[in-house]
Amino acid sequence: MSGAAADSAVGNAVVLNLTDDAAPEAVLAELRQTAPERLVIDVDNAPGIDPFVLAAAIITAVPGIHTTLRVPTPRWHPYAIARRLAELDKLSGGRLAWTPVDVEPERAAEAARIVAGLLTSWAPDAVINDRASGVHVDTDRVRPVRFTGRHYRIDAALDAPPGPQRTVPIAAGPAVADPNVTTAEEITR
């Protein structure tokens, strides 16, 4: 794969380490051919590659693949991360995890807390889809996440419902300041 190195160093997962000169077509062709069960996508050395777009392409090209996405938190605001993870979780059928990657563990921990809060800002029964009344969402069941930290500040709910896992699990990475904070209700305290 041009611009990519595939290792099997993380358990039974293939680790895809990409650089900016990676040829997405070649990466997809090889993944279709090898059809790994688990894949870790690492774009830390490829600032020009959008990890979410690449993950979407891989998830659709390799059915059934379990994907872990290493997300460089300095390049992505937690709201953008949560929004994209929610859609990828739907696309993958709940076969998605992520890892916040940052040289500043405190910033990664803040990002992880906000992402978890945003992904749970919609109650499980918030989507109604009642065509007769024209009500799609019970807005009383969508709660904003209020958080002010050293690196991020947010006062918003996610603008779309979460995927099947609700909170996309963190596969590995920096120590999160409070790993028990997983819901919008808990993060707003």
Judge contact between 45 and 73, C-beta under 8 A: no
In whole angstroms, how far apart are CA 105 and each of 42, 61, 73, 112, 123?
18, 33, 10, 10, 29
pLDDT number for residue 89: 97
Which residue ranges of the chain lie beneath pLDDT 70? 1-12, 172-189
Strand-pair partners of 137: 127
> Tens digits of per-residue pLDDT, 43-93?
888 888 888 999 999 999 998 999 999 999 999 999 999 999 999 999 999
pTM of the model: 0.83
pLDDT number for residue 79: 97
Helix (H) or strand (E) segment spanning residue 68: strand 66-72
